[in-house]
Amino acid sequence: MKYFTNELWSKLNSDSQKERDEADSEWDRNYEVYSEIFESVKIRFSQKFLKIYLKNHGFHDFQIKNIVLTHKEYGVKNPISVDIYVTDSMDTFKITYKHIKKFSINYEEAEGWGDRRGFDDWGYDEFLPIDEQTLSHEILFASGSTILICFKNGNVFVTKTKED
Model pLDDT for residues 105-131, shown as the tens digit of each residue? 999 876 665 565 788 899 999 999 999
Domain range list for the chain:
6-161
Distance CA 148, CA 41 (A): 17
* H/E element, 120: none
pLDDT the model gives residue 115: 60
Distance CA 36, CA 46 (A): 19
Examine the pLDDT at 164 and tell me if it is beyond 60: no
Q: HEC profile for 53-110?
A: HHHCHHHCCCEEEEEEEEECCCCCCCCEEEEEEEECCCCEEEEEECCEEEEEEECCCC
The residue type at 23: A
- Edge-to-edge strand list for the sheet holding 80-87: 63-71, 80-87, 92-97, 156-161
Residues 88-116 have a mean pLDDT of: 86
Distance CA 65, CA 55 (A): 20
pLDDT the model gives residue 61: 96
Q: Cα dihedral angle (85, 86, 91, 93), rounded to 10 degrees?
A: -40
Span 42-69, pLDDT tens digits: 999 999 999 999 999 999 999 999 999 9
Q: What are the Cα distances from residue 147, in Å, to 32, 81, 137, 144?
A: 23, 14, 8, 10
